Structure 1
């Protein structure tokens, strides 16, 4: 099984040997591969430190999260670009986590859009998929993507939208949809939306340490808990957990070229 979105390098895992214990628990739970998207310039070093401890199990994505975009993000973006084009660029399987988030703060919409545009264009040029964070900003996100000469492959991470949102995204490109613990929540509409997406475009993720699935809701999330999300996805599709694991693993390997 693949957790396509986890931040096990964050301070929330400091007491777990800087995330290493959480990785070991995930591997024991059958989560063989985990993708670690970057957040900002301060998270690059701890991400790389954890990555180096588990070759063949951990993979990195490099990008600037939309809520971390500054008033003048050119220096931030220069660092991201330098890493993605540098001598160690082969360690990155995607550009992310990038996108737009207007839930908390709308004052930097212009800067977020420009940072997203630059990083998405870079991904297309490098032939890498994108991991898209989109919160309360779907029209703006799709506008940026539609403006690109070439739309990169990728995934809408932590997707919680409607069938209409799925259709709007597909009019731009045939993206994957990252499904996490939200699908297990009592009031979630995702179980009804998933058949419209189709299992061939579903990726499993945790977004650890956030959004822990039931029965761990309210606690710190970790990659091992993805088994609960897989069970909820299986129920929505009328499939076995083993079938969901097989298809979503193949989807992740295909999108991110995992080895």
Structure 2
């Protein structure tokens, strides 16, 4: 049975690949992106099967307008994919205040705005699925990606809470956590001027690895997108979807490490309640 999808950030990367796959199998797609002409080739090929709108997710009013128009024009939307994002690449001290604000406005506030805008429509139609494209960086952290991680960890916490709030309305969430993949990752990084003091530090080492190509992108974006699409057929919706061998290994290592730290501090935790 064909479905109707609403996807943000469809000009390239995961969003573009997903749009192509869904259209090819016969689904309808409401695709948003900052420059709609980037999808002119797909519009010419698929016609009314593809609905497009210009959207910058940092404009919360525009997000609501685009979502309202998509539901009005297309009726029921089965799956909403919050995908628009980018990575701010630099040590926490290097990045500028303006860059920090834009990173948070795009990845965190923008994703929150999309989710908040679609919830009334999904409630009204009796349910639906929301797929948030996060990253392995929503559960682990690399030096030089501190602000990117702040947004990904933030959106995952938001979704964990909201998923509980709207479950009674038949609305389900999945957080997709792909690892490094060839989606234009390096070209999409926004970087401040580097500070030499960080050259021989973990932040500098990651910076050198990315610039030299030593930061290996092992994930296949086409396979990752297919796994995201397939996840929408699973019931109940998987809360998280780790994508990639390195992603699985890195997240598992991080979770085990955090659990070990928690267990080591059990006595301290238990000692801080009010006395009986």
TM-score range, shorter chain: 0.3 to 0.5
Higher helix share: 2
Greater Rg by CA: 2
TM normalised by structure 2 equals 0.38
